Chain A
Amino acid sequence: MKKMFGLLASLTLISGVCAAVLAYVNSITAAPIAATAEKAREAAKAAVLCGEEGYTAEGRSGEGYGGDIVLMVGFKKDKKTVISYKVLQASETPGLGMKLKTPEFAGQFAGKDGSALKVKKDGGEIEAITSATITSRAVCKAIADAQSKL
């Protein structure tokens, strides 16, 4: 009986300590995480313009294959020509830092339409996916969506 109380006491203590630690960690990280997301969004706005004057807009593309991707797209002053884009959110890749560089990008997307979007990740373990080739149209679709918001 005494043994059982001892075990019970230590287990309770462990749970209590862990809960306290987690709660504390969460309390100090929640605000910074939100701030980081906002900061990333602001940073993306600046980055996708590549120092040029122009406009930024968010675009979404999701066809049910792997969820939505959200791009921050930088456009030239003509509101048509893409300077660059950056992934803000890809639901298949939670927490994975993605950076997009798009050399010689301008004009590639004008007037193009898209269909589906590739699945990149499902959960935290798979790092890359082999699949049928998706056309760059899918990316174009998110870009067209961004453009429609200008």
Chain B
Amino acid sequence: MRRLGILCVVLPLAALVAACGCSREPIERDRVEWIAMGTVASLQTRGTNLAEDVPSSAVLARALSVTKDVESLLNAHSPDSELSRLAALSDDEVLESCDRTASVDASVRARPCYEAAFALAKASGGAFNPRWHGTNTLDLGAIAKGFAVDLAADAPPEGSVDMLLDFGGNLKSLRGIWRTGVKDPNGVGFAAVVELREGEALATSATYYRGSHIYDGRTGKPVTNGVASVTVLCDSAMWADGLSTTLFVLGPEEGRAFLEGAARTLVGGRGVAALWVLSDGRQAKFDPDDRFLCASVH
């Protein structure tokens, strides 16, 4: 009995001492934000001795220049962008002509983004449509930010610091597992939680910030199908971004069929998971590996 009493005192004290001891080498967190592509981009880092971490500085430098370069190539609102200059050409001509006159860093070429957008338009029967505004127009706004994330996240230097890129809600883990939340489109908390693993990306399409700005490429009209938000998990930020818009337009039923059919060849056999949150609060999922957890976390 006495022994138990002693244990009762010693154990909590030991725990307290251990807790204090552990905080000697604390996990530091840092976050650098910048304005790019019409939104706020950021690089989050997590680890010990962040100040001396050279790899994350290199990633930051690359991310800064990538966002700038992609913006100068693919900004639909600028008449001088490569995208605007090629808009009147056919899809094939765009692919032939792009990259020739690019005046940006040699590692940033937009062709993969044009290709993905055209392929996604074809596979989705036009639900995703980079020419939704007319034949002579081009708008890659629904996929360009994800494309930029992938470029910035490409081959990060070796190191021990965990890194997460965020371009306007398009997330990608460059290193480490990050606990991420899917913003609840109908409230303040989260609709789900995802443990984002290294190399994985998450993207969300929704109307709560900018109003009804997602158009059905087949009709040219704003989408009104009861979908409040769609979040896609994939190992490519570009596909996560493009697919989230596509699946918003398609809705859960058509969307699931699309993911099981046409989308499979498109994303090269990559695992894709999707979460629809409807405006009445109900959820629908395409989630073979149960990656979207804890529905309705508040």
A and B from one assembly? yes
List the interface of chain A (C-beta within 8 A of B): 3, 6-7, 9-11, 13-14, 17-18, 21, 65-66, 96-103, 105, 108, 115-116, 118-119, 121-122, 125-136, 138-139
B180:A134 contact, CB within 8 angstroms: no
11 contacts between A and B (CB under 8 A): A7-B5, A10-B5, A14-B9, A100-B31, A102-B33, A127-B180, A128-B181, A130-B202, A132-B185, A134-B39, A136-B38
Residues of A within 8 A of B40 (CB): 118, 134, 136, 138-139
Q: How far is the CA of A133 from the CA of B183 in the complex (A)?
A: 11
Question: B1 on the interface (CB 8 Å rule)?
Answer: yes
B178:A131 contact, CB within 8 angstroms: no
Question: B168 on the interface (CB 8 Å rule)?
Answer: yes
A66:B180 contact, CB within 8 angstroms: no
Q: How far is the CA of A128 from the CA of B170 in the complex (A)?
A: 10
A130:B31 contact, CB within 8 angstroms: no
* Shortest beta-carbon contacts, A-B, top 5: A133-B168, A132-B206, A131-B183, A126-B181, A10-B5
Q: How far is the CA of A6 from the CA of B188 in the complex (A)?
A: 48
Number of A-B contacts (CB under 8 A): 143
Question: B129 on the interface (CB 8 Å rule)?
Answer: no
Q: How far is the CA of A102 from the CA of B35 in the complex (A)?
A: 7
A89 to chain B, nearest CB (A): 14
Q: How far is the CA of A9 from the CA of B29 in the complex (A)?
A: 42
Question: B160 on the interface (CB 8 Å rule)?
Answer: no
A134:B34 contact, CB within 8 angstroms: no
Residues of A within 8 A of B258 (CB): none
B142 to chain A, nearest CB (A): 10
Question: B56 on the interface (CB 8 Å rule)?
Answer: no
Residue of B nearest to A21 (CB): B16
A75 to chain B, nearest CB (A): 16
Residue of A nearest to B34 (CB): A102
Question: B229 on the interface (CB 8 Å rule)?
Answer: yes
Q: How large is the interface on B (under 10, 10 to 19, 20 to 34, 35 or more residues)?
A: 35 or more
B34:A116 contact, CB within 8 angstroms: no
B34:A115 contact, CB within 8 angstroms: no
List the interface of chain B (C-beta within 8 A of A): 1-2, 4-5, 8-9, 12-13, 16, 28-35, 38-40, 44, 46, 64, 145, 164, 166, 168-171, 178-183, 185, 188-190, 193-194, 196, 202-210, 229, 231
Q: How far is the CA of A21 from the CA of B210 in the complex (A)?
A: 50
Q: How far is the CA of A66 from the CA of B190 in the complex (A)?
A: 11
Q: How far is the CA of A126 from the CA of B34 in the complex (A)?
A: 21
Q: Tell which of B5, B179, B182, B207 has the most Cβ of chain A within 10 Å.
A: B5
Residues of A within 8 A of B168 (CB): 133-134
Q: How far is the CA of A101 from the CA of B33 in the complex (A)?
A: 6
Residues of B within 8 A of A3 (CB): 1
Residues of B within 8 A of A96 (CB): 29, 31
Further contacts, 10 of them, CB under 8 A, given A108-B35, A129-B183: A100-B33, A100-B34, A101-B32, A101-B33, A128-B180, A129-B190, A130-B180, A130-B183, A132-B206, A132-B209
A63 to chain B, nearest CB (A): 10
Q: Tell which of A10, A97, A116 has the most Cβ of chain B within 10 Å.
A: A10
Q: Tell which of B29, B145, B185 has the most Cβ of chain A within 10 Å.
A: B29
Residues of A within 8 A of B170 (CB): 130, 133
